[in-house]
Amino acid sequence: MSQKKQSLAYIISASSVGTLIEWYDFYIFGSLATVLSTKFFPTDNPTAAFLNTLATFAAGFVVRPFGALVFGRLGDLIGRKYTFMVTLMLMGGATFAIGLVPSYATIGGWAPFIVLTLRLLQGLALGGEYGGAATYVAEHSPAERRGFFTSWIQTTATVGLVISLGVIMLTRSSMSKEAFDEYGWRVPFLLSIVMVGISFLIRRNMEESPMFEKAKKEGTTSTNPLKESFGNKLNLKFVLLALFGATMGQGLVWYTGQFYAQTFLLKICNLDDIQTNTILVIGLLLGTPLFIFFGALSDKIGRKGIMLAGMAIAVFAYRPIFDKMYQTVNVKNKEVVAGSEKIEETRALNAKSTVDSLVTTTTTRLYTDGATYKKVSKLVVLADKTAEAPKAEIKETITINDSDKWTLIGMVFLLISFVTMAYGPIAAFLVELFPTKIRYTSMSLPYHIGNGIFGGLMPAIATFLVTTAKDTNKVAEEAGQVATIAKPYLEGLNYPIALVSVCVVIGIIYIKGDKKHA
């Protein structure tokens, strides 16, 4: 018994470490998007700017379901172990290669295309990895503790994000800003090859899943997993049920809690980036043990109730939580220290011209609660007065006091706790929904459509909805009318709230609530 436990612990840790590294690889691209855009995607080249938007916001996510199909099929044909070794190497290779790609200044238009291609390969690899790892661990676990054991795999996405933020912060702090912009940003990408190498050595000694081995010996493996998964009505209905009754809502809750919270604080509340990342990392670390708790709890009381409760609470709590976050940072709720406002203006020759000038106006304020406000406005003044003047580039940054910081950590923790309820038991739920011979394929596709497409695109769509709402109000105000949208900064939440609500209704009515099934 003790040996069995030990080998299961090895299986879980070896699987989890590999999956964690894949998440790390996937996230550093997003976290370093600003630096990458200056190196590979110059804004004065429209094609490169378009590719930048595509690479940053969509490509890696949209391609994930295709990875699920390609590698899911392989996993059901040749085995789980070999397939997730391939995805690990593909992800590691693509990430390492991003760290080696010469910049746009060196090789011109090839740079954005190469980086976009490598980002697509990352998405493909991730699409194949998760289903393999979850299936592999689940097929080794005793049925009555499957929720607990697979929940370790569920922590990897969150821990991967924390490690990616940590490595980037450490690299930044170990060198000057100029050195980081010059070459330091490559370090987190290059470091991936070391982590992947270690994970490869650990995974190399793992044995094939016992359920798959048994099916192989009995000759009951699938000869055409794609056809059996999606061309067969009996199985397709469960794929659709998994998507619309579980993974769609779970993916949205996950990306709203982990990623939109970050985007919201940075871009909509204008909170300082170091404070934002610190708040996020502490909130994530405090919330991570709950993945294991809810995974284990799902073995006792069933998966359905916990997952749907997490989603339902999120639907009702999102607007109050995000409103509280916004109002905590909002300087309109704070009192300015008398005489603290300073305005400095500098004028220099614009870097991209020999005649136009760049006027930089910096406004700073202090608040009685210790918060600070900084607004930098950059305006290009054209020498040719008849030409249309470009819009000023404005960047606002707010820092808050410790008490407000802990308020925000509490809010992020609440968001993460919804994530853990929806996400903790889902690997076990998906594994139990499909038969061994087509499990890898059948569970991977709904998972990656739910998480990669519905969830992954969430921060970009929500930010777009907020911008549209603000523009609508601006047009109304300029026309002398009352602003039509009371809280435009919360408009982005309409997307997850609407879809998660549909998912909860479908889940309640269509998913069986008994422990064996859900």
Partner 1 sequence: MNAIKKILGLVWIALGVAAGIYLVYFQALPLWEKGGNDLVPAIIYTCVLAPLISIGMSVFGYYSVTGEFDNV
Query: Counting contacts by CB under 8 A, is residue 255 touching partner 1?
Result: no
The secondary structure of 398-451 as a DSSP string is EE--HHHHHHHHHHHHHHHHHHHHHHTTHHHHHHHHS-GGGHHHHHHHHHHIII
* Of residues 202 and 241, the one with the C-beta less far from partner 1: 241
Nearest to 251 by CA among 488, 102, 65: 65
* Of residues 6 and 43, the one with the C-beta less far from partner 1: 43
User: Candidates 236-244, 316-324, 363-371, 372-380 — which segment interacts with partner 1 by CB under 8 A?
Assistant: 236-244
> Please, are residues 292 and 148 in contact by the beta-carbon 8 Å criterion?
yes
> Please, are residues 374 and 397 in contact by the beta-carbon 8 Å criterion?
yes
Please classify residue 95 by burial: count the beta carbons closer than 10 Å to its beta carbon, then call 0-12 exposed, 13-18 middle and 19+ buried.
Answer: buried
Query: Counting contacts by CB under 8 A, is residue 339 touching partner 1?
Result: no
Alpha helices in 330-401 (DSSP H): none
At its nearest, how many Å lie between partner 1 and the CB of residue 293?
29
Which value, in Å, is the radius of gyration of the alpha carbons in the chain? 24
* Of residues 239 and 279, the one with the C-beta less far from partner 1: 239
* Of residues 33 and 169, the one with the C-beta less far from partner 1: 33
User: Candidates 53-61, 92-100, 123-131, 368-376 — which segment interacts with partner 1 by CB under 8 A?
Assistant: 53-61
> Please, are residues 328 and 408 in contact by the beta-carbon 8 Å criterion?
yes
Nearest to 356 by CA among 379, 332, 323, 329: 379
Q: Which of residues 18-47 bind partner 1 (CB under 8 A)?
A: 46
CA distance linking residue 214 with residue 151, whole number of Å: 25
Number of residues that bind partner 1 (CB under 8 A): 27
* Of residues 137 and 493, the one with the C-beta less far from partner 1: 493
Between 196 and 235, how does the x/- string for binding to partner 1 read (CB under 8 A)? -------------------------------------x--
At its nearest, how many Å lie between partner 1 and the CB of residue 228?
17
At its nearest, how many Å lie between partner 1 and the CB of residue 512?
7
* Of residues 372 and 467, the one with the C-beta less far from partner 1: 467
Q: Which of 165, 453, 490, 504 binds partner 1 (CB under 8 A)?
A: 453
* Of residues 137 and 511, the one with the C-beta less far from partner 1: 511
Q: Which residues, 6+ apart, have CB-to-CB distance to 438 below 8 Å?
A: 76, 222, 225, 228, 229, 235
Query: Counting contacts by CB under 8 A, is residue 10 touching partner 1?
Result: no
Task: Name residue 366's beta-bridge partners.
Answer: 372
Q: Which of residues 457-516 bind partner 1 (CB under 8 A)?
A: 457, 460-461, 464, 502, 505-506, 509-510, 512
At its nearest, how many Å lie between partner 1 and the CB of residue 26?
19
Query: Counting contacts by CB under 8 A, is residue 449 touching partner 1?
Result: yes
At its nearest, how many Å lie between partner 1 and the CB of residue 238?
8
At its nearest, how many Å lie between partner 1 and the CB of residue 416?
26
Please classify residue 280 by burial: count the beta carbons closer than 10 Å to its beta carbon, then call 0-12 exposed, 13-18 middle and 19+ buried.
Answer: buried
Residue 374 Ramachandran class (φ > 0 left, ψ -120 to 50 alpha, else beta): beta
At its nearest, how many Å lie between partner 1 and the CB of residue 113?
16
At its nearest, how many Å lie between partner 1 and the CB of residue 233?
7
How many CB atoms lie under 10 A from the CB of residue 213? 16
At its nearest, how many Å lie between partner 1 and the CB of residue 63?
11
Q: How far apart, in Å, are the Cα atoms of 357 and each of 38, 348, 378, 416?
A: 22, 6, 10, 47
Q: Which residues, 6+ apart, have CB-to-CB distance to 472 below 8 Å?
A: 484, 485, 488
At its nearest, how many Å lie between partner 1 and the CB of residue 518?
11
Contacts with partner 1 by CB under 8 A lie at 46, 49-50, 53-54, 57-58, 62, 233, 236-237, 240-241, 243-244, 449, 453, 457, 460-461, 464, 502, 505-506, 509-510, 512
